[in-house]
Amino acid sequence: MSQTSRVAVLVAPRHIEVREEHIGPPPPGAIQVRVRAALTDGTDLKTYRRGHPKMPFPTRFGHEFSGDVTAVGTGVTDFAIDEGVMCVHTAPCGRCAWCARGQEELCEHIMPTMLLGAYADTIEVPRTVVERNCFHKPEHLSYREAAFLEPLSCVVHSLEFLQPQGIVAVIGDGAFGIMHGLIVRERGAVPLLIGRRPERLEIARGYGLEVVDARAVDPVTAVRERTGGIGADAVIECTGTREAWEAAPAFVRRGGTVSFFGGLPTGTNVTFAAERLHYDEIRLISPFHFTPRDVRAAYELLAQRRLDLLPLITQTYRLGDIAEAFARLDAGEGVKACIEP
């Protein structure tokens, strides 16, 4: 049985084509999913602007999604046709040196095998993901909410690494910054969200998060004042810019922790004052990706509705209008767009 599916392909910077392709039956262990909601993220926007070393043009893209099962490969017993599913786009192999050490986020197979192409009518989810990082979508959860599983897994992992306590400065008012603020609060610590985009700061305020508007005040001074002059217990960098990485240690108190969540392009070097790091005993950490345990924790947060992430979706488009969606994000509008094919 052969069918066609539309898929968005990035053929050059700022140039998306929606192509038709034939899809055959899924291989053993895999499932085919009709995409019902796919969310844009910062990596997609960066790839749209300048390409990505791991995704040479032309490339399909998009990896935050949920949908309904339309076909199952032989051997699949956990999922059936017409069931709603939510998953992430990677799974560790369980056999490499890093998996053996329990550091599954560093699995050698994660980057080469990651699933891309969620901006499509249909996506094929490989066996490894079906077996380890795929869940039934609860009836009460919308497809849009379920599509947050992947970004939320990243945030859960980040905060497993950090173990936030006290006052935590979060640099960045994008979706990852705001999600960090929400989970930091969920963990009982006090987030201070630092940003400069009015629309995004308003969304953060709508969640009841305390914000520092970096256009109005010097954010380092503001964080010092808020922390009795000593600085935050931890700071989390969520912008993925070199400037913010280098500025981050200034927000933290003596003995505090700086967590670099937002990755920088390959080849980037950063510079810190050694004196500050050493004599003030600043700990630097840089969490990457997530493990199946983090994905399950993120699933539980969503399934139990302990967070409402829908305000982070500021635009919705049909697949045929995806070029417009990215043109607007590129122009700085909104936070996340949802593509509903």
Residue among 89, 53, 52, 84 nearest 69 (CA) = 84
Minimum CB distance to Zn ion smaller for 45 or for 93: 93
Give the nearest distance from C-beta 92 to Zn ion in angstroms. 5
- 176's tokens: 């990852």
Minimum CB distance to Zn ion smaller for 92 or for 181: 92
Minimum CB distance to Zn ion smaller for 132 or for 137: 132
- 282's tokens: 């600043």
Q: What are phi and psi of 85, to 5 degrees?
A: -135, 155
Give the nearest distance from C-beta 300 to Zn ion in angstroms. 24
- 271's tokens: 């510079």
Residue among 233, 174, 207, 40 nearest 194 (CA) = 174
- Residues at the interface with Zn ion (CB under 5 A): 92-93, 96, 99, 107
Give the nearest distance from C-beta 293 to Zn ion in angstroms. 14
- Cα(186)–Cα(207) distance, integer angstroms: 12
Give the nearest distance from C-beta 202 to Zn ion in angstroms. 42
Give the nearest distance from C-beta 97 to Zn ion in angstroms. 8
Minimum CB distance to Zn ion smaller for 6 or for 109: 109
Give the nearest distance from C-beta 64 to Zn ion in angstroms. 22
Number of C-alpha atoms within 13 angstroms, CB side, residue 293?
10
- Cα(250)–Cα(273) distance, integer angstroms: 10
Minimum CB distance to Zn ion smaller for 87 or for 339: 87
* Element of type H or E holding 169: strand 167-171
- In angstroms, the first-to-last Cα distance of the chain is 22
**Is 295 in a helix, a strand, or coil?**
helix
Residue 298 Cα distances to 25, 157, 304, 305, 322, angstroms: 30, 9, 10, 11, 27
Give the nearest distance from C-beta 100 to Zn ion in angstroms. 8
Residue among 3, 6, 34, 10 nearest 19 (CA) = 6
Residue among 209, 249, 212 nearest 231 (CA) = 249
Minimum CB distance to Zn ion smaller for 94 or for 311: 94
Minimum CB distance to Zn ion smaller for 25 or for 94: 94
